[in-house]
Structure 1
Protein backbone atom coordinates (compact mmCIF):
# COMPACT_ATOMS: atom_id res chain seq x y z
CA UNK A 1 0.00 0.00 0.00
CA UNK A 2 1.40 3.38 -0.91
CA UNK A 3 1.56 6.19 1.62
CA UNK A 4 -0.42 9.40 1.17
CA UNK A 5 -0.16 12.81 2.77
CA UNK A 6 -3.41 14.09 4.23
CA UNK A 7 -4.63 17.67 4.14
CA UNK A 8 -3.42 18.08 7.74
CA UNK A 9 0.05 18.60 6.20
CA UNK A 10 1.70 21.79 7.47
CA UNK A 11 4.10 21.98 4.49
CA UNK A 12 7.18 21.66 6.68
CA UNK A 13 8.98 19.59 4.03
CA UNK A 14 10.54 17.17 6.53
CA UNK A 15 9.36 14.16 4.52
CA UNK A 16 10.67 15.09 1.09
CA UNK A 17 14.42 14.47 1.60
CA UNK A 18 13.73 11.22 3.47
CA UNK A 19 12.12 9.42 0.52
CA UNK A 20 14.56 6.99 -1.15
CA UNK A 21 12.42 6.99 -4.32
CA UNK A 22 11.96 10.76 -4.64
CA UNK A 23 8.21 10.08 -4.59
CA UNK A 24 7.37 13.15 -2.49
CA UNK A 25 6.74 16.48 -4.16
CA UNK A 26 5.80 19.93 -2.99
CA UNK A 27 2.19 20.80 -3.80
CA UNK A 28 1.71 22.10 -7.32
CA UNK A 29 4.96 20.60 -8.66
CA UNK A 30 4.77 18.11 -11.56
CA UNK A 31 6.27 14.66 -10.97
CA UNK A 32 8.29 12.36 -13.24
CA UNK A 33 9.24 8.69 -12.94
CA UNK A 34 12.86 9.61 -13.69
CA UNK A 35 13.16 11.98 -10.72
CA UNK A 36 15.61 10.32 -8.32
CA UNK A 37 15.28 6.86 -9.86
CA UNK A 38 17.12 4.81 -12.46
CA UNK A 39 14.07 4.72 -14.73
CA UNK A 40 14.62 5.64 -18.36
CA UNK A 41 12.53 5.11 -21.46
CA UNK A 42 9.03 3.66 -21.27
CA UNK A 43 7.57 2.74 -17.88
CA UNK A 44 4.21 1.13 -17.09
CA UNK A 45 2.31 2.93 -14.34
CA UNK A 46 0.06 1.23 -11.78
CA UNK A 47 -3.05 2.02 -13.83
CA UNK A 48 -1.57 0.16 -16.82
CA UNK A 49 -0.76 3.23 -18.90
CA UNK A 50 2.71 3.64 -20.31
CA UNK A 51 4.70 6.84 -19.84
CA UNK A 52 8.17 7.98 -20.71
CA UNK A 53 10.40 8.39 -17.65
CA UNK A 54 10.93 12.11 -18.24
CA UNK A 55 7.28 12.91 -19.01
CA UNK A 56 5.90 15.36 -16.44
CA UNK A 57 2.65 14.38 -14.74
CA UNK A 58 0.12 16.71 -13.16
CA UNK A 59 0.55 17.35 -9.45
CA UNK A 60 -1.61 15.15 -7.23
CA UNK A 61 -2.08 18.01 -4.74
CA UNK A 62 -1.77 21.77 -5.06
CA UNK A 63 -1.75 23.09 -1.50
CA UNK A 64 0.23 20.41 0.38
CA UNK A 65 3.08 17.99 -0.25
CA UNK A 66 2.02 14.77 -1.96
CA UNK A 67 3.35 11.29 -2.70
CA UNK A 68 3.22 9.72 -6.15
CA UNK A 69 1.81 6.22 -5.55
CA UNK A 70 3.58 5.03 -8.69
CA UNK A 71 6.90 5.72 -6.97
CA UNK A 72 6.06 4.91 -3.34
CA UNK A 73 7.36 1.58 -2.03
CA UNK A 74 6.72 2.30 1.67
CA UNK A 75 10.54 2.28 1.88
CA UNK A 76 10.55 -1.51 1.39
CA UNK A 77 14.09 -2.65 0.65
CA UNK A 78 15.51 0.55 2.14
CA UNK A 79 14.20 0.98 5.70
CA UNK A 80 12.16 -0.83 8.35
CA UNK A 81 9.30 1.69 8.09
CA UNK A 82 8.15 4.47 5.78
CA UNK A 83 10.52 7.33 6.49
CA UNK A 84 8.00 10.04 5.63
CA UNK A 85 5.72 8.80 8.41
CA UNK A 86 8.65 8.46 10.81
CA UNK A 87 9.68 12.13 10.47
CA UNK A 88 6.27 13.78 10.01
CA UNK A 89 5.61 16.06 12.99
CA UNK A 90 1.82 15.99 12.51
CA UNK A 91 1.37 12.31 11.55
CA UNK A 92 -0.21 13.09 8.18
CA UNK A 93 1.70 10.40 6.22
CA UNK A 94 -0.69 7.45 6.33
CA UNK A 95 -1.42 4.31 4.28
CA UNK A 96 -3.33 5.04 1.08
CA UNK A 97 -6.19 2.56 0.93
CA UNK A 98 -6.60 3.22 -2.80
CA UNK A 99 -3.28 1.49 -3.55
CA UNK A 100 -3.07 -1.87 -1.81
CA UNK A 101 0.17 -3.72 -2.59
CA UNK A 102 1.95 -6.68 -1.03
CA UNK A 103 5.51 -6.47 0.25
CA UNK A 104 6.55 -8.52 -2.78
CA UNK A 105 4.88 -6.05 -5.15
CA UNK A 106 6.52 -3.10 -3.38
CA UNK A 107 9.95 -4.76 -3.61
CA UNK A 108 9.36 -5.49 -7.31
CA UNK A 109 8.47 -1.83 -7.87
CA UNK A 110 11.64 -0.80 -6.03
CA UNK A 111 13.75 -3.05 -8.27
CA UNK A 112 12.18 -1.59 -11.43
CA UNK A 113 13.00 1.95 -10.27
CA UNK A 114 16.52 1.27 -9.03
CA UNK A 115 18.07 -1.05 -11.58
Structure 2
Protein backbone atom coordinates (compact mmCIF):
# COMPACT_ATOMS: atom_id res chain seq x y z
CA UNK A 1 0.00 0.00 0.00
CA UNK A 2 1.53 3.31 -1.12
CA UNK A 3 1.55 6.41 1.06
CA UNK A 4 -0.97 8.99 -0.17
CA UNK A 5 0.52 12.37 0.74
CA UNK A 6 -2.47 14.38 -0.53
CA UNK A 7 -4.90 12.34 1.58
CA UNK A 8 -2.66 12.75 4.64
CA UNK A 9 -2.53 16.54 4.17
CA UNK A 10 -6.32 16.67 3.81
CA UNK A 11 -6.70 14.74 7.06
CA UNK A 12 -4.34 17.18 8.80
CA UNK A 13 -6.43 20.11 7.57
CA UNK A 14 -9.55 18.64 9.14
CA UNK A 15 -7.96 18.16 12.58
CA UNK A 16 -8.51 20.51 15.51
CA UNK A 17 -5.61 22.29 17.16
CA UNK A 18 -5.74 19.90 20.10
CA UNK A 19 -5.73 16.89 17.79
CA UNK A 20 -2.70 18.28 15.94
CA UNK A 21 -0.96 18.93 19.25
CA UNK A 22 -1.61 15.34 20.38
CA UNK A 23 -0.32 14.04 17.04
CA UNK A 24 2.91 16.03 17.34
CA UNK A 25 3.46 14.77 20.88
CA UNK A 26 2.85 11.17 19.79
CA UNK A 27 5.33 11.51 16.91
CA UNK A 28 7.91 13.07 19.23
CA UNK A 29 7.54 10.20 21.70
CA UNK A 30 7.51 7.47 19.05
CA UNK A 31 10.62 8.65 17.23
CA UNK A 32 12.46 10.41 20.06
CA UNK A 33 12.59 13.74 18.24
CA UNK A 34 11.56 17.33 18.89
CA UNK A 35 9.16 19.19 16.62
CA UNK A 36 11.01 22.50 17.12
CA UNK A 37 13.47 22.11 14.24
CA UNK A 38 11.11 20.36 11.77
CA UNK A 39 8.45 23.00 12.33
CA UNK A 40 10.89 25.75 11.38
CA UNK A 41 11.86 23.86 8.24
CA UNK A 42 8.25 22.96 7.43
CA UNK A 43 7.13 26.56 7.76
CA UNK A 44 9.37 27.41 4.83
CA UNK A 45 7.54 24.84 2.66
CA UNK A 46 4.11 25.70 1.27
CA UNK A 47 2.24 22.48 2.10
CA UNK A 48 3.01 22.44 5.82
CA UNK A 49 2.09 26.10 6.26
CA UNK A 50 -1.25 25.49 4.55
CA UNK A 51 -2.06 22.62 6.93
CA UNK A 52 -1.90 24.77 10.08
CA UNK A 53 -4.34 27.71 10.17
CA UNK A 54 -2.99 31.05 11.34
CA UNK A 55 -6.32 32.22 12.74
CA UNK A 56 -9.04 30.10 14.33
CA UNK A 57 -12.29 30.54 16.24
CA UNK A 58 -13.41 29.12 19.58
CA UNK A 59 -17.01 27.90 19.38
CA UNK A 60 -19.03 26.94 22.47
CA UNK A 61 -21.13 23.91 21.48
CA UNK A 62 -22.58 23.06 24.92
CA UNK A 63 -22.37 24.60 28.39
CA UNK A 64 -22.41 21.18 30.01
CA UNK A 65 -23.79 20.62 33.50
CA UNK A 66 -21.97 23.55 35.15
CA UNK A 67 -23.65 26.34 33.21
CA UNK A 68 -22.99 29.05 35.82
CA UNK A 69 -19.26 28.32 35.86
CA UNK A 70 -19.18 28.44 32.06
CA UNK A 71 -21.02 31.79 32.03
CA UNK A 72 -18.39 33.20 34.42
CA UNK A 73 -15.53 31.99 32.20
CA UNK A 74 -17.21 33.34 29.04
CA UNK A 75 -17.69 36.69 30.79
CA UNK A 76 -14.01 36.75 31.76
CA UNK A 77 -12.79 35.76 28.28
CA UNK A 78 -15.01 38.09 26.28
CA UNK A 79 -15.23 41.08 28.61
CA UNK A 80 -19.01 41.05 28.17
CA UNK A 81 -21.50 41.79 30.90
CA UNK A 82 -23.17 38.99 32.83
CA UNK A 83 -26.39 39.09 30.78
CA UNK A 84 -24.54 39.08 27.43
CA UNK A 85 -22.28 36.21 28.54
CA UNK A 86 -25.35 34.24 29.70
CA UNK A 87 -27.05 34.88 26.35
CA UNK A 88 -23.99 33.49 24.53
CA UNK A 89 -24.02 30.36 26.69
CA UNK A 90 -27.80 29.93 26.29
CA UNK A 91 -27.69 30.18 22.49
CA UNK A 92 -25.17 27.51 21.49
CA UNK A 93 -23.40 27.01 19.21
CA UNK A 94 -21.87 30.42 19.92
CA UNK A 95 -18.55 31.87 18.82
CA UNK A 96 -16.64 32.96 21.91
CA UNK A 97 -13.59 34.43 20.15
CA UNK A 98 -12.87 34.57 16.43
CA UNK A 99 -9.75 35.24 14.37
CA UNK A 100 -7.27 34.38 17.12
CA UNK A 101 -3.97 32.49 17.14
CA UNK A 102 -4.26 28.69 17.52
CA UNK A 103 -2.21 28.84 20.74
CA UNK A 104 -4.63 31.32 22.31
CA UNK A 105 -7.60 29.24 21.13
CA UNK A 106 -6.10 26.14 22.72
CA UNK A 107 -5.70 27.96 26.05
CA UNK A 108 -9.28 29.28 25.92
CA UNK A 109 -10.60 25.84 25.01
CA UNK A 110 -8.82 24.32 28.00
CA UNK A 111 -10.21 27.01 30.31
CA UNK A 112 -13.77 26.52 29.07
CA UNK A 113 -13.54 22.73 29.20
CA UNK A 114 -12.21 22.96 32.76
CA UNK A 115 -15.40 24.84 33.64
CA UNK A 116 -17.45 22.00 32.08
CA UNK A 117 -18.18 23.34 28.60
CA UNK A 118 -17.93 21.50 25.30
CA UNK A 119 -15.85 23.61 22.89
CA UNK A 120 -14.75 23.32 19.29
CA UNK A 121 -11.84 25.13 17.65
CA UNK A 122 -12.32 25.84 13.93
Larger Rg: 2
Same fold (TM over 0.5): no
What is the TM-score normalised by the length of structure 1? 0.30
Q: What is the TM-score of this pair, normalised by structure 2?
A: 0.29
Looking at secondary structure, tell me which structure has more helix per residue.
2
